[in-house]
Each structure stands twice: as C-alpha cells, then as structure tokens.
C-alpha cells in the first residue's frame, strides 16, 4: 500500500481507536496473554487482525498473536490464500482442517439455513484448538452491527434479550472469547477492507442463502439508519445501559418483594383550605 489519503488515514485511526477503547473498557487483553485470532477470510477478521497487530506494537503490555483459520473443506475453498497472506505478514499461524462441510450438508435439508449448525461445529473445533495451543483469549471479528442484529434476532425469534457480549467466558470455562471490533461499524470495516485490498475468501456454504433471518434484520436496521442516522449506535448504547427494574425479568429484579418505602417523605405538601 502507498501513502494513505486523508480519509483513509482518518478511517484507520478511527478503527484503531475504537478497537483500543473496546479492549480497554472490557479488559479484553492482559499482559502475557496469548490471543488466538480466528480468521475466516472475510473483511471483519482481516480488519481485526490488522488492528490487533497495530495494538500489539503500541500497547503498554506484551501479548502474543496467533492467527488460526479453520478449513472446513468446502468445495473450491482456495487453501493457498490465507497461508500466503499470513506468511507475508510474518506471524505465527495455523490452518485447522476439519470437514464440517460434509456434516452440515448431510444433516441440513436442502434449502434450509446452515449457519447455526456450521457455526456450532466451527466454534467447538476452535475452542478445542485454543486449549491445545494454550491460548488465553479467542478473538472473533464480530462488530457493532453484528451485535445489534443478534440482539433483534434473539428478541424476535427466541423471546430473549441478549446479544453478543464484547467479552464472554465459554460454557466450558476454559475459553474466553473477545470481540475487539465491538465498537466498530460494518460500513467502516468494509471501506477499510476495500482500500487495504484484503484477499477476501467468500463463504460458499452459507453466503448464498439470501433469505436468512439475519439478512432480514440487517435490512431492517439499514432502513432505520437511512431514515434516522445514528439509530444503530443508539441501540448499541442501550445494551450498555440496562435498567433491570424497568423490564420484566423476575430473576433479574426482585419484583415480588417490592413495596412502598414507609420511611420515604411524602411528595405532597399540606394545602391550605381557602
């Protein structure tokens, strides 16, 4: 890459600043950590790796970065692309080969969405590999828009208020997942990926499934954003400003024992009869 334009420089600084703030706010990376950066070959994970490599240089702490890609044996997957890119960067990397493609195609009927099963199989394999190499953190490339979309997917289709937390301890207790791009929006990431010319690898397994519920939610949010710029950011901020007493979760707030406070001062003053 040559010299950055003014706009490209601003974009790069913004993504680095937002990622740095997310890492600091949620204590994602600590001194001595071994961070396994999960690369899919998409714009998000490439951007995350790029930003983390910069953070590694300027952070006041020392931490390792290991790039890991999972080859799921999808037909036509260009196996040479990521190794060539990572060798050029000169960083440690691993390619984990696991034929989850065949499993997904066998278990999911034709025409049905494959993302859920595919992601579970991929996540389980990566969790195991992280444990094998002694990684203390697993970095995933989900961004702010992914988090907001997941919030609405869970609300609309699962009846729960939850999203993707910027930092998560897995159910097995042995893996901590971090999302350094939690404060970054997809539009910026796409623009950054375009000018950096990352060697994008499309997902042929699920990328062509146009009627996914996530795509419906994404379209809804993009329409809202066009009509009211800043709405997605406002929704994301609401996930950081939860008031349990104003919801209806009896496990989160003790509604059963809620009573008036007999010691509280009255709101009303004595009125003089005229």
Q: Can you say which residues are annotated as belonging to the binding site for [4Fe-4S] cluster?
A: 115, 118, 206
Binding residues: 115, 118, 206
3-state class (DSSP) for residue 210: coil
Q: Tokens 């049905």 sit at which residue?
A: 112
Distance (Å, rounded) from C-alpha 127 to C-alpha 138? 8
What separation in angstroms does the CA of 200 have from each of 39, 66, 93, 224?
11, 19, 17, 28
Tokens found for residue 243: 């008031």
Could you give the CA distance from residue 137 to residue 98 in angstroms, rounded to a whole number? 21
Residue 21: Cβ-neighbour burial (10 angstroms; 0-12, 13-18, 19+): middle
CB neighbour list of residue 182: distance below 8 Å, 6 or more residues apart: 22, 26, 142, 143, 144, 147, 166
φ and ψ of 21, to 5 deg: -65, -40
Q: What is the DSSP string of 219-274?
A: HHHHHHHHHSTTHHHHHHHHHTS--GGGS--TTTS--TT----TTSPPS--PPPP-
Sequence-distant (≥ 6) Cβ neighbours of residue 40 within 8 angstroms: 69, 141, 201, 203
């Amino acid at each position: 890459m040559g010299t950055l334009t003014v706009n490209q420089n601003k974009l790069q600084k913004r993504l680095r600043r937002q990622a740095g703030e997310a890492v600091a706010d949620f204590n994602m990376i600590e001194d001595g950590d071994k961070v396994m950066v999960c690369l899919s070959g998409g714009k998000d994970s490439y951007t995350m790796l790029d930003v983390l490599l910069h953070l590694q240089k300027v952070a006041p702490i020392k931490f390792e970065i290991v790039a890991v890609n999972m080859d799921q044996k999808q037909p036509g997957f260009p196996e040479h692309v990521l190794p060539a890119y990572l060798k050029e960067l000169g960083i440690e990397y691993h390619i984990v080969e696991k034929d989850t493609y065949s499993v997904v195609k066998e278990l999911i009927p034709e025409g049905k969405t494959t993302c859920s099963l595919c992601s579970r199989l991929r996540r389980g394999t990566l969790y195991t590999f992280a444990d094998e190499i002694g990684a203390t953190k697993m970095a995933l490339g989900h961004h702010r828009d992914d988090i907001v979309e997941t919030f609405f997917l869970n609300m609309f289709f699962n009846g729960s208020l939850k999203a993707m937390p910027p930092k998560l301890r897995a159910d097995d207790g042995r893996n901590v997942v971090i999302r350094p791009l939690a404060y970054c929006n997809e539009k910026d990431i796409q623009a950054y990926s375009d000018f950096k010319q990352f060697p994008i690898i499309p997902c042929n397994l699920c990328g062509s499934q146009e009627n996914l519920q996530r795509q419906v939610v994404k379209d809804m949010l993009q329409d809202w954003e066009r009509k009211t710029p800043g709405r997605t950011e406002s929704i994301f901020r609401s996930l950081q400003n939860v008031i349990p007493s104003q919801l209806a979760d009896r496990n989160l707030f003790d509604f059963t024992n809620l009573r008036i406070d007999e010691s509280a001062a009255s709101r009303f003053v004595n009125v003089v009869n005229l």
